[in-house]
Structure 1
Amino acid sequence: MTTVLESATPIQRIQLNRVAPEIYEAMLAFSAVTEKGVEPTLAELIKIRASQLNHCAFCLDMHSHDARKQGETEQRIYLLSAWEEAASLFTEKEQAALALTEEMTDLTRGSHVSDDVYARAAEVFTDEELAHVIGLITVINSWNRFSVSTRVRPPRRK
């Protein structure tokens, strides 16, 4: 991993919701549409896993918090980065969605989603569900990129 030296005084970054509210509103609408077709705890697992891969602290904090509110266990949240090793804790649908999330998020592995990963997801999701999962993965990756590039920081929680 390449390290970039930062200046002692970080530059001020834009606040996307204030500077370009139309982009922010469109992202909120896109998020809402994709989530309608995905079970809420699965949606949070997808968001957390993509955010881990993208090193997005703000989204990791928010979606871990949201997952707990949905009833997700601390154990599964903690083990999400090693879900393949802890596969017995995750359902077939969750494993298929997480594999798809990884291949759609980390494009350095190749320039496409493998046939095996896509077929695995297509086996456990209906076409409509799969479309929503793909949309959800796409939208969280976009949110991650907005947050990382503008350095949105997580709030301090008590």
Structure 2
Amino acid sequence: MSGVSTTAPRLPLGKLAPGIFAPLMALTAAAKQDLDPTLVELVLLRGSQLNHCAFCIDMHARDARKAGESEQRIHLLGAWEEATGHYTEQERAALALTEAVTRMADGGVPDDVYDRAAAHFDEAALARLLALIVAINIWNRINVAVRTPVGAHP
């Protein structure tokens, strides 16, 4: 039977290839700069949900709470499009962009999604938002591939 396994971690990538993590941490930190911390965590959490990264979902739900995010908005994030009135237009634009970039194989990033985000973020903020989305996709792929266990973060 094939599919996703929930067995032990496969590879301690951070220990075996430590030079990989410093640049990824730097990318993530640079992308977060000057973006609202709750928006950052919503984007990171939503990308992680889309990529089925349990480690990152757990971490970013915790980080969202620390940033002041409500339990209700965390729980509704998987259905943000239907949860009208719970997310700002800027957040909704960022979440739509997160979904389009994360699911790029489904047809790229449509102009209307990009334009919606561009209407809510200046060019510098939009560049950081795109970098943040790319960064979470990298982290998710690494953590899913090596089976980083939930709760393995400080």
Q: 2:142 aligns with which of 140, 146, 153?
A: 146
Q: Tell me the alpha carbon deviations over residues 34-55 of structure 1, each in whole angstroms, 9 at most, x when there is no partner.
A: 1113111000000010000000
Pair 104,20 (structure 1): closer, same or farther in 2 beyond 3 Å? same
For 1:56-71, what aligned pairs fall within 5 Å after superposition? 56-71=53-68
- Give, in whole Å, the separation in 2 of the partners of 1:62 and 1:152: 12
Which position in structure 2 is the counterpart of 1:136? Answer: 132
What's the % identity of the aligned pairs?
50
Which position in structure 1 is the counterpart of 2:91? Answer: 94
Equivalent residue of 2:68, what SS?
Answer: coil
Structure 2 unaligned segments of length 5 or more: list them.
none
Q: Tell me the alpha carbon deviations over residues 47-94 of structure 1, each in whole angstroms, 9 at most, x when there is no partner.
A: 010000000000000000000011100000000000000021000110
Equivalent residue of 1:89, what SS?
Answer: coil
**Matched-pair contact (CA < 8 Å) for 1:87–1:95:** no
The structural deviation recorded for 1:12 is: 5.4
Question: Is 1:78 the equivalent of 2:75?
Answer: yes
- Give, in whole Å, the separation in 2 of the partners of 1:90 and 1:155: 28
Structure 1 unaligned segments of length 5 or more: list them.
none
- Give, in whole Å, the separation in 2 of the partners of 1:6 and 1:101: 24
- Give, in whole Å, the separation in 1 of the partners of 2:132 and 2:64: 15
Question: Is 1:16 the equivalent of 2:13?
Answer: yes
Pair 91,26 (structure 1): closer, same or farther in 2 beyond 3 Å? same
- Give, in whole Å, the separation in 1 of the partners of 2:17 and 2:151: 22
Larger Rg, first or second structure (1 or 2):
1
Question: Is 1:119 the equivalent of 2:80?
Answer: no
Aligned partner letter, 1:70: A
Q: Tell me the alpha carbon deviations over residues 19-45 of structure 1, each in whole angstroms, 9 at most, x when there is no partner.
A: 110001111111111111311100000
- The CA RMSD over aligned residues, in Å, is 1.9
TM-score of the two chains, using structure 1 as the length reference: 0.90
Q: Where has structure 1 moved over 3 Å in runs of 4 or more?
A: 9-12
Across the two proteins, how many residue pairs are aligned to each other? 152
TM-score of the two chains, using structure 2 as the length reference: 0.93
**Matched-pair contact (CA < 8 Å) for 2:44–2:60:** yes
**Matched-pair contact (CA < 8 Å) for 2:48–2:54:** yes
Pair 96,28 (structure 1): closer, same or farther in 2 beyond 3 Å? same
